[in-house]
């Protein structure tokens, strides 16, 4: 085990001691520890690893403030004389790495050391800052730079640099401590600075001179006043909180100034001076070209409140020529006494209304009638082009262009919304249509001009038709389901015929799809009853059973080797009366009938085979079916045994 005592001794060995001991392996033998363990703590050059130093001196725990003060006075020369930082560490009995957390080789303390000696700002007083403010660059140089000033005041050099620059100016944190932003700057000062102008500032020796003259921090003053004599936005906001002094009356007057009036007043600053408001506040409402900003227009005319439906209808009839004759949109705005920006929310320079205007005139869909949709359906692209596009059609029907485009496309086709209104899916598609479409095939569809052509031919929406018919001539599942609800058109005669097909007959017909086409039934419906191997599904067999007459039990119906009494005994054994409860009575009746029919119409071997197949088909259906399957299997075994 490597002890703390060993570490202290190894710390004093140095490279020479290690070499004399025969290297690290020799030291390990000398102390009776594993060489690998020793190397975790000691290097070949005699220095301890970080792990060793951390064990000897957990970072910072043994480095005292007193040590830091002494190290602060060492300087580079003192460190060199002690044999470098490692020598200082040995001299003070601390880990070299721990010492380096606080002291640099050039004799300066690290930030961690300075923070321990002087937590930022705690030892730097307002009195010091005021004195430092008067030093100037020359005073700082005379005491040996910022480090000299720090020594003079007994504070950490880095801490002092947080407040004072080498050129004698204070940093922002210093100025903020001396003059918290805005607290010492009064409205009276701002008003006086507002009248200084660039010349007054220059005469005072620049912004720094003004700051000294008013006894405020230069940086704080610069927060409010620029070198060209203008006030900053914070200053203007303090003098004139935005909007508080700007009245509607002012806005109306400024609206009439125009660029020429603004120029004659000496620009926006001149207008501001004329009205006794802050330039920045005025610029929030008025532009140099004489136009009002959106905030100004919103205050004069809250959007939409003054725009009436009557105005919109009148503007709709203006056209580009009418707008140009009125002097553009601004002219129209003046003519109707509304704000130009507000008008532009509703009217384009080309004479068309915006969507917002159209929505107000024609809420989407409210004025579009089914009659219009039917007429538009017959327009086609040519008819739309002759009407000069969709906008022309809209004008022709007196509806908003945007509203029309919800229903009609430029190529003459109706949108889904239009088709849904004309033909709610499935409502106008009759079974007669479906049967006719079923016979079309791809060729018939192509001859009609595709699905759209078929739709036109039958007077239904193209989208509605596509819900039932594909381009390859096949019906979709919804169509097949409507034509043949599962089991509705599948007759017992079909089932008997399919039962006789066998796999070979199905293959000759082109598979199950071929059989379905031949017998004019949906393939999906057929698969409900017939398998590709020629056998009927349980549903098919059950349909056949229910369609037939119940078997009369007689000697003539049975295989000679199986008597009526023996057959009845088999069924009594196979079918447990306890299963005939309310829940499964109907199921068991079906099972009994199935077995009776099979035994009555087939040989015992065939009957057993059929029952085995039922067992396989029904095993994974439900708990009731699994139970039934067990009993059917028992019946099959009994039949075999009887045979």
DSSP 475: B
Question: Three-state DSSP class for 189?
Answer: helix
Question: Three-state DSSP class for 495?
Answer: helix
Question: Three-state DSSP class for 103?
Answer: strand
| E strand residue ranges, 514-596 | none
Question: Three-state DSSP class for 116?
Answer: helix
Rg (CA), the chain: 51
Helix 585-601 vs helix 604-618: crossing angle, to nearest 10: 150
Helices (H) and strands (E) in the chain, counts: 42, 0
Question: Three-state DSSP class for 408?
Answer: strand
Strand-pair partners of 164: 170
For residue 452, name the pLDDT band (cuts at 50, 70, 90).
confident
Q: Judging by beta carbons within 10 Å of its beta carbon (0-12, 13-18, 19+), is residue 366 exposed, middle or buried?
A: exposed
**Half-sphere exposure in the Cβ direction for 563 (13 Å, CA):** 3
Cα separation, 476 vs 466, in Å, equals 8
Average pLDDT, the chain: 76
Measured CA distances, 105 to 60, 154, 303 (Å): 18, 21, 71
For residue 446, name the pLDDT band (cuts at 50, 70, 90).
very high
Mark 337-348 as b/e (b = at least 16 C-beta within 10 Å): ebbbbbbbebbe
Cα separation, 37 vs 19, in Å, equals 18
Cα separation, 635 vs 624, in Å, equals 17
Question: Three-state DSSP class for 86?
Answer: helix
Q: What is the pLDDT of residues 520-556, one digit of tens each?
A: 877 777 887 899 998 888 778 878 887 763 333 333 3
Q: Is the pLDDT of residue 314 over 70?
A: yes
| Residues in CB range of 317: below 8 A, 6 or more apart | none
CA–centroid distance for 278 within its chain? 43
Arithmetic mean of pLDDT, 231-236: 80
Six-digit token pair at 58? 């957990």
Q: What is the pLDDT of residues 264-309, one digit of tens each?
A: 888 998 888 788 777 777 887 898 988 888 778 777 765 444 688 8
Own/partner long-range contacts of 69-72 (Cβ < 8 Å, ≥24 apart)? 69/117, 71/99, 71/102, 71/103, 71/109, 71/113, 72/109, 72/113, 72/117
Q: What is the pLDDT of residues 353-389, one digit of tens each?
A: 887 787 777 655 446 888 888 888 888 888 899 888 9
- How many residues make up the chain in this entry? 643
Helix 585-601 vs helix 623-642: crossing angle, to nearest 10: 30
CA–centroid distance for 58 within its chain? 48
Q: What is the pLDDT of residues 467-526, one digit of tens each?
A: 889 999 988 877 877 776 544 467 888 888 888 888 988 999 999 888 888 888 777 778
Q: Is the pLDDT of residue 2 over 90?
A: no
| Residues in CB range of 174: below 8 A, 6 or more apart | 129, 132, 133, 162, 163, 164, 217
The answer to pTM > 0.85 is no
Six-digit token pair at 432? 């007669």
């Amino acid at each position: 085990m490597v002890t703390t005592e060993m570490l202290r001794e190894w710390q004093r060995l140095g490279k020479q001691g290690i070499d004399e001991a025969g290297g690290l392996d020799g030291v390990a033998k000398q102390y009776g520890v594993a060489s690998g363990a020793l190397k975790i703590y000691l290097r070949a050059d005699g220095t301890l690893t970080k792990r060793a130093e951390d064990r000897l001196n957990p970072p910072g725990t043994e480095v005292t403030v007193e040590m830091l003060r002494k190290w602060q006075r060492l300087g580079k020369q003192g460190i060199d004389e002690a044999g470098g930082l490692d020598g200082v560490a040995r001299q003070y009995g601390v880990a070299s790495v721990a010492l380096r957390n606080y002291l640099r080789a050039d004799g300066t303390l690290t930030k961690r050391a300075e923070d321990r000696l002087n937590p930022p700002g705690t030892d730097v007083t307002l009195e010091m800052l005021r004195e430092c403010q008067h030093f100037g660059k020359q005073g700082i140089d005379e005491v040996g730079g910022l480090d000299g000033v720090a020594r003079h005041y007994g504070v950490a050099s880095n801490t002092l640099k947080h407040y004072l620059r080498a050129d004698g100016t204070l940093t922002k944190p210093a100025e903020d401590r001396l003059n918290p932003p805005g607290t010492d700057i009064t409205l009276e000062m701002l008003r006086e600075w507002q009248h200084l102008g660039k010349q007054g500032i220059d005469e005072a020796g620049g912004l720094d001179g003004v700051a000294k003259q008013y006894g405020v921090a230069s940086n704080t003053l610069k927060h409010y006043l620029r070198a060209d004599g203008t006030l900053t936005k914070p200053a203007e906001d303090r003098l004139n909180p935005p909007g508080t002094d700007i009245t509607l009356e002012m806005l109306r007057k400024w609206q009439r100034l125009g660029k020429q009036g603004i120029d004659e007043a000496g620009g926006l600053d001149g207008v501001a001076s004329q009205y006794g408001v802050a330039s920045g506040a005025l610029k929030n409402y008025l532009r140099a070209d004489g136009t009002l900003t959106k905030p100004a227009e919103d205050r004069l005319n809250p959007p939409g409140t003054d725009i009436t439906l009557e105005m919109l209808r009148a503007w709709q009839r203006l056209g580009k020529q009418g707008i140009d004759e009125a002097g553009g949109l601004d002219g129209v705005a003046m003519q109707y006494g509304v704000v130009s920006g507000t008008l532009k929310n509703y009217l384009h320079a080309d004479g068309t209304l915006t969507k917002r205007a159209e929505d107000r005139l024609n809420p989407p869909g409210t004025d579009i009638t089914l009659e219009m949709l039917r007429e538009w359906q017959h327009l086609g692209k040519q008819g739309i082009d002759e009407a000069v596009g969709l906008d022309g059609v809209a004008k022709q029907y007196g509806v908003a262009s945007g509203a029309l485009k919800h229903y009609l496309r430029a190529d003459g086709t109706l949108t889904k919304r239009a088709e849904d209104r004309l033909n709610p899916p499935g409502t106008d598609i009759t079974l007669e249509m479906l049967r006719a479409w079923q016979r079309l095939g791809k060729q018939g569809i192509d001859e009609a001009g595709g699905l759209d052509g078929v739709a036109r031919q039958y007077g239904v929406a193209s989208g509605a038709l596509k819900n039932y018919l594909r381009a390859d001539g096949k019906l979709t599942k919804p169509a097949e389901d409507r034509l043949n609800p599962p089991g509705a058109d599948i007759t017992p005669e079909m089932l008997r015929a399919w039962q006789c097909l066998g796999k070979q007959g199905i293959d000759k017909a082109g598979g199950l799809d071929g059989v379905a086409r031949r017998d004019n039934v949906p393939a999906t419906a057929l698969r409900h009853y017939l398998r590709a191997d020629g056998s009927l599904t349980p549903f098919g067999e059950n349909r056949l059973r229910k369609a037939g007459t119940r078997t009369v039990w007689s000697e003539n119906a049975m295989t000679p080797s199986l008597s009526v009494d023996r057959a009845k005994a088999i069924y009594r054994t196979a079918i447990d009366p306890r299963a005939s409860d309310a829940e499964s009575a109907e199921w068991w009746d079906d099972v009994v009938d199935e077995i009776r029919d099979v035994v009555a119409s087939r040989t015992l071997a065939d009957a057993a085979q059929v029952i085995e197949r039922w067992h396989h088909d029904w095993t994974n259906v439900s708990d009731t079916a699994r139970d039934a399957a067990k009993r059917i299997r028992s019946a099959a075994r009994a039949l075999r045994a009887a045979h």
